[in-house]
Amino acid sequence: MAPPQDRRLPDDISTAIVTDKDMGVYVHRKQAPSEWIYAGTFQGEIGDQPAKFYCIDIDNPIAFYSPYRSDGPTSPEITYILNHYYPYVPYGARGDELRGATEVRGKKKEAAAIQLAIWYFSDGIKINEWADGFCFQSGVCRPFSQAIKQRARKIIQDAEANAGSTQPAETLEIQIIRREDTPQLTAQFKVIARDENGNGVPHVTVNLNATNGVLSDYTAITGDNGETPLITITLPMDSAPLTTTVTATANVVIPQGTRYVHVLSSGGSSPSVSPDCPPPHEKQKLVLATPTQATRQDTESVSWERDFGDAPNGSLGGIIYQYPTRLGDGNNGGARHFVNNGIYLGNGVDAEPDGQPSGDADGDDMNDVSDEDGVLFPPDGLKRGQENCIRVTASVDGYLNAWFDFNGDGDWDDESEYVFADYPLTAGTNDLCFTIPSSATTEKRVYARFRFTQDNPNGSLSYDGLWSNGEVEDYWVSVGSPTAVILSSFSAGAQAADPWRIAFPALASIALAGGIELRRYFLPNHKP
């Protein structure tokens, strides 16, 4: 998440200058039909940046080209109006639900309606106190549109109901939801706008761009929960590099209003004032400052770097191996994991653009870092028809899935070939034991695939296809027959428990004689 940005206030926010009227109409109150008052925005500067102001002191005129100094924040209602309506928006541009066919059209009338609403909160002037007529700056007068007053009432209602309830977005956060790598490299993400309390901020317009790839949307708006809909970025499969950096930017309005009070310079020249109004009063308080714009931003890199296996695919020594290893193998492509977060077997993992099938299942090992290093087999080999133990090293707690092609027919589909299913591993070494069927081949190589991932696949991980994180390591092993043991003699005493126990150095084809029955057997150092 990006840190809060500067609010980009002008260097000098303490001094405002009003230079002219901007957008509005002349109105008058019912009890003073001859006094036309300009309702709308004034233009000027805060510091050296352009700004627009509304008046909050209807009894005193605006002084042009004469400094105003800041005088603290505005009330919550006026702040709300500034945040939501400032300075004015042409009809229909905002998609504002407050707008309707009977409401104002045009910036001048909208600015006037906003000013009437502000005067309601700053000077207590009710909308029905305004006369039914107005004049444009050109001097052309019209009957005062009921639409302006109706619009002002709605703004007042909105501010009374919602003032203080909306905080500006302080941070943006890009969240990557998922990545896919077929048929193209895609990632889905959303952008979350949060206020300073971490709550989602709705209606924030987020602009998006990426260093690489095509975005489904280049603009998105946050919903009620502060989150944009999902956005997709797409790169071609052969993209180089296999990464892109997404940037989300929002220009947010800081809902602050600042009161400005006119400063009369003692002994200085008289400021020029609006020709419609009397000279400024010493105690004249005046206008609102603009709410300020700020930029919020977050960047997030997305990577499609994957680790593949290297079990063979194709004809080798008269056997057709069908292990899905490359992206194009099988229905779901070869086994592959996105490389990230230090989730791997052994001492590490490296990424490669595609699977590297090889007869010795060492294509990945030979490429770049020798990373297929997480599984240790017994030095005297695996034996069929008995329990065997292997040592698996994991970088973090996670889950192991493993397949052995025990019958050596080039697939992992046969009975008993799915050896470990979502088997939990702890970070570090794990000794795992399993029984190899007595039907396992001793003639052919037995290829094995190990897939490790941090999140529990809950049965959805296979020996092929993409997984979100982790590593795939492929091996080949030889399976031998148990060593024959000839029991030439032994001594055993009577025991209370059945059976008698006889320890052998290795499990064997045991020739039994003399009525001895082998009911149960176990390996040294392992519990029966």
Q: Which residues of this chain interact with Ca ion, rule CB under 5 A? A: 307, 344-346, 349-350, 364, 371, 373-374, 405, 407, 409, 411, 414, 472
- Identify residue 458 by its one-letter amino acid code: N
* Nearer of residues 148 and 375 to Ca ion, judged by Cβ: 375
Report in angstroms how near the CB of residue 187 gets to Ca ion at its nearest: 21
* Nearer of residues 51 and 349 to Ca ion, judged by Cβ: 349
Q: Specify whether the CB–CB gap between 300 and 246 falls below 8 A.
A: yes
Report in angstroms how near the CB of residue 509 gets to Ca ion at its nearest: 25
Task: Give every CB contact of residue 269 below 8 A, 6+ residues apart in sequence.
Answer: none
* Nearer of residues 157 and 438 to Ca ion, judged by Cβ: 438
Report in angstroms how near the CB of residue 409 gets to Ca ion at its nearest: 5
* Nearer of residues 18 and 394 to Ca ion, judged by Cβ: 394
Measured between alpha carbons, how far is 232 from 121 in angstroms, rounded to an integer? 45
Distances (CA, A) of 234 to 211, 215, 244: 12, 6, 10
Number of other residues whose CB lies within 10 A of the CB of residue 438: 11
Q: Specify whether the CB–CB gap between 152 and 127 falls below 8 A.
A: yes
Measured between alpha carbons, how far is 422 from 206 in angstroms, rounded to an integer? 40
Strands (E), 280-339: 285-288, 292-303, 306-308, 313-316, 319-322, 336-338
Q: Closest by alpha carbon to 39, among 109, 120, 124?
A: 109
* Nearer of residues 80 and 420 to Ca ion, judged by Cβ: 420
Phi and psi for 32 in degrees, rounded to 5?
-135, 70
Report in angstroms how near the CB of residue 350 gets to Ca ion at its nearest: 4
Alpha helices in 35-145 (DSSP H): 76-85, 107-123
How long, in residues, is the chain?
528
* Nearer of residues 116 and 392 to Ca ion, judged by Cβ: 392
Report in angstroms how near the CB of residue 472 gets to Ca ion at its nearest: 5
Token pair belonging to 6? 């500067």
Token pair belonging to 511? 């020739």
Phi and psi for 427 in degrees, rounded to 5?
-60, 135
- Identify residue 301 by its one-letter amino acid code: S
* Nearer of residues 57 and 329 to Ca ion, judged by Cβ: 329
Task: Give every CB contact of residue 260 below 8 A, 6+ residues apart in sequence.
Answer: 16, 53, 68, 69, 70, 71, 285, 286, 287, 288, 289
Report in angstroms how near the CB of residue 307 gets to Ca ion at its nearest: 4
* Nearer of residues 40 and 357 to Ca ion, judged by Cβ: 357
Measured between alpha carbons, how far is 448 from 458 in angstroms, rounded to an integer? 21
* Nearer of residues 35 and 368 to Ca ion, judged by Cβ: 368
Report in angstroms how near the CB of residue 482 gets to Ca ion at its nearest: 21
Closest residue by beta carbon to Ca ion: 346
Phi and psi for 100 in degrees, rounded to 5?
-150, 175
* Nearer of residues 300 and 371 to Ca ion, judged by Cβ: 371
Report in angstroms how near the CB of residue 237 gets to Ca ion at its nearest: 18
Report in angstroms how near the CB of residue 407 gets to Ca ion at its nearest: 5
For residue 249, list its beta bridge partners: 207, 297
Report in angstroms how near the CB of residue 481 gets to Ca ion at its nearest: 19
| CA pseudo-torsion sign 154, 160, 161, 163 | positive
* Nearer of residues 280 and 398 to Ca ion, judged by Cβ: 398
* Nearer of residues 346 and 398 to Ca ion, judged by Cβ: 346
Report in angstroms how near the CB of residue 167 gets to Ca ion at its nearest: 47
Q: Closest by alpha carbon to 247, among 211, 203, 286, 209?
A: 209
Q: Closest by alpha carbon to 100, among 112, 91, 111?
A: 91
Report in angstroms how near the CB of residue 470 gets to Ca ion at its nearest: 10
